[in-house]
Amino acid sequence: MQITPASRIYVAGHRGLVGSAVVRTLQQRGYTHLVLRTHNELDLTDQSDVRRFFEAERPDAVIMAAARVGGIHANNSRPAWFIRDNLLIQGNVIDAAHRSGVGKFVFLGSSCVYPKLSPQPIKEDYLLTGPLEPTNEWYAIAKIAGLKMCQAYRREFGFNAISLMPTNLYGPGDNFDLQNSHVLPALIRRFHEAKVRGDESVTVWGTGTPRREFLHVDDLADAVLYLLHSYDAEPIVNIGWGQDVTIRELAELVLSAIGYSGRLIFDSTKPDGTPRKLLDVTRQTNLGWKPRITLKDGIEQTYAWFKEHSDDARL
């Protein structure tokens, strides 16, 4: 099925970091038939509600950006919540989308599906070659089940589902709740608050030496639309820069974007986590897509958004 700006596109999770960026990008490009439901309007863990919704709306394409998402603390403290909700949400949506004749389905996984000790950079082929990072294995197992379900439905029913594995994302609409957030939004919030209070220093956990990769969510949305139109195959595709920075470099970029002159202290008694997590983006590059928003520009733009949305950001 050809997807055009007149197609009916359901963006699941359209209020989240990824979903809101996908909606923004679709709207900017003239897509006028978006199908959207908030979590309150449609709980995707409820199978009969999800089936009824798909039978009534019959979207042409689905971007699957609804998930139970969180940082290490949330994953560690709510394992049942993470595995249950994600298995139910994606199982219900993939199955109902297939039953109602959806022509294209884009599933979003994550770089955390790969084994903890993967060689770097991480190729798609490393999936299921070793043990997962124990702190988020509940989430990762659910995501692996989701991408495998897409592959199984493609094989058995010819369901046109593709699965993308983005690296760490950031941008407008991110979660800045310190209990639940990822490293970049957490640094933005903590450094901003230190600046407002006039603190002399800020402390970052660990040695600052682990390396991480970050992709602006508007770049991911661009990749989603690009592959929605141009990629129809079973293999999963990593989405990222294929380049990383140390946590110290990241913290310095955040300090400079915020304009905070306090001292940066690294608390090396706290755990560092995996030394490096970088995606191999050869497949993405061969498919003809690359990101555009540099980390410096992206952090400045995200900080501007955070300040403008102090009353409605997820804090």
Ligand X SMILES: NC(=O)c1ccc[n+]([C@@H]2O[C@H](COP(=O)([O-])OP(=O)(O)OC[C@H]3O[C@@H](n4cnc5c(N)ncnc54)[C@H](OP(=O)(O)O)[C@@H]3O)[C@@H](O)[C@H]2O)c1
313 binds ligand X (CB under 6 A): no
Of positions 44, 140, 247, 258, contacts ligand X by CB under 6 A: 44
- Give the integer Cα–Cα distance in Å for 225 and 221: 6
Q: Which is nearer to ligand X, 25 or 110 (CB)?
A: 110
13 binds ligand X (CB under 6 A): yes
18 binds ligand X (CB under 6 A): yes
> Within 10 Å of residue 257's Cβ, how many Cβ atoms?
22
15 binds ligand X (CB under 6 A): yes
- Give the integer Cα–Cα distance in Å for 172 and 52: 32
Which of the ranges 62-70, 71-79, 195-203, 269-277 carries the binding residues for ligand X, by CB under 6 A? 62-70
192 binds ligand X (CB under 6 A): no
Residue with tokens 């300090």: 255
Q: From residue 44, give the alpha-carbon distance in Å to each of 112, 225, 258, 309.
A: 22, 23, 38, 27
For the chain, where are the E strands, in sequence order?
Answer: 9-12, 34-35, 61-64, 104-108, 161-166, 168-170, 201-205, 211-212, 214-216, 237-239, 245-246, 263-267, 276-277
Q: Which tokens hold the place of 230?
A: 């141009």
Which of the ranges 25-33, 166-174, 188-196, 303-311 carries the binding residues for ligand X, by CB under 6 A? 166-174
Q: Which is nearer to ligand X, 110 or 284 (CB)?
A: 110
**What x-and-dash track marks residues 273-312 binding ligand X by CB under 6 A?**
----------------------------------------
Active site residue 139: yes
Q: Count CA atoms closer than 13 A to 267's CA, side-chain side.
A: 8
- Hey, what amino acid is at 25? T
Residue ranges in 66-105 that form contacts with ligand X under rule CB under 6 A: 66-69, 85, 89
Q: Which is nearer to ligand X, 217 or 257 (CB)?
A: 217
45 binds ligand X (CB under 6 A): yes
Q: Could you say which of 139, 153, 231, 303 is catalytic?
A: 139
184 binds ligand X (CB under 6 A): no
Q: Which is nearer to ligand X, 18 or 236 (CB)?
A: 18
43 binds ligand X (CB under 6 A): yes
182 binds ligand X (CB under 6 A): yes
- Give the integer Cα–Cα distance in Å for 42 and 11: 12
224 binds ligand X (CB under 6 A): no
Using DSSP's 3-state secondary structure scheme, residue 201 falls into strand
Q: 263-267 and 211-212 as β-strands: parallel, antiparallel, unpaired?
A: unpaired
Residue of closest CB approach to ligand X = 16
- Hey, what amino acid is at 219? D
For the annotated catalytic residues, the residue numbers are 139
